[in-house]
């Protein structure tokens, strides 16, 4: 079984060939796709796509770039649509102190509010963390340890941070950024994870 756990199929880049992209994914061997929301509108579109295709599921949430728009009313709406059986996670949420498209305080507020809702709904979370490792880890650690709590998407920390996230119940996502010339920290974390997976059975 091959799963794409992080797609953004609703974005306008796919408006001209979305169905063809999905067909190529299936013909290439994918059995499941999770398409990820980044705000209320995007989350609704993700769920609409999941309703059309049996093998597509959705995640809902507010990306840190859009934290300014993350109102209590929007969160109530997200919580309502998250009750749909095709919604399998809450995200993409987190902190991005590199771009700072939304102020830090707005990001922190939106992140913690969404963590609480996801916890109440018993949904795993999809975390965006860029230049905010300490804050993200401290906040998630306060949520408590558990199994399969979620995934740290596009991980950019070192092996010690990866181990710390894994210890409190999170998976680590290392995508194409591992191929960058300066990605030595990520490569080290990837090597350790691969070793752990190979020798833990």
> Residue length, the chain?
201
Confidence of residue 166 (pLDDT cuts 50, 70, 90): very high
Confidence of residue 60 (pLDDT cuts 50, 70, 90): very high
91: phi then psi, degrees, rounded to nearest 5: 160, 160
State yes or no: pLDDT of 59 exceeds 60.
yes
Six token digits for residue 45: 């579109």
pLDDT confidence bin for 189, thresholds 50/70/90: low
pLDDT(178) > 70: no
pLDDT tens, residue by residue, 90-108? 999 999 999 999 999 999 9
Domains and CATH numbers, the chain: 2-153 (3.20.20.140)
Tens-place pLDDT, residues 120-164:
999 999 999 999 999 999 999 999 988 889 999 988 888 889 899
The position carrying tokens 């756990």 is 5
> What's residue 196's pLDDT?
46
pLDDT of residue 148: 83
């Amino acid at each position: 079984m091959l799963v794409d756990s992080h797609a953004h199929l609703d974005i306008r880049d796919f408006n001209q060939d979305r169905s063809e992209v999905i067909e190529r994914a299936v013909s290439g061997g994918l059995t499941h796709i999770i398409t990820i929301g980044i705000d209320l509108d995007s989350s609704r579109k993700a769920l609409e796509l999941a309703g059309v295709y049996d093998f597509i599921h959705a995640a809902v949430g507010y990306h840190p770039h859009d934290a300014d728009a993350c109102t209590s009313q929007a969160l109530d709406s997200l919580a309502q649509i998250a009750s749909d059986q095709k919604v399998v996670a809450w995200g993409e949420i987190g902190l991005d102190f590199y771009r700072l498209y939304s102020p830090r305080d707005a990001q922190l507020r939106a992140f913690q509010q969404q963590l609480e809702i996801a916890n109440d709904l018993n949904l795993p979370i999809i975390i965006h963390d860029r230049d905010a490792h300490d804050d993200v880890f401290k906040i998630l650690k306060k949520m408590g340890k558990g199994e399969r709590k979620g995934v740290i998407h596009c991980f950019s920390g070192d092996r010690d941070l990866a181990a710390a996230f894994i210890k409190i119940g999170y998976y680590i996502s290392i995508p194409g950024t591992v191929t960058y010339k300066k990605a030595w920290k990520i490569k080290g974390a990837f090597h350790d994870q691969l070793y752990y997976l190979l020798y833990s059975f």
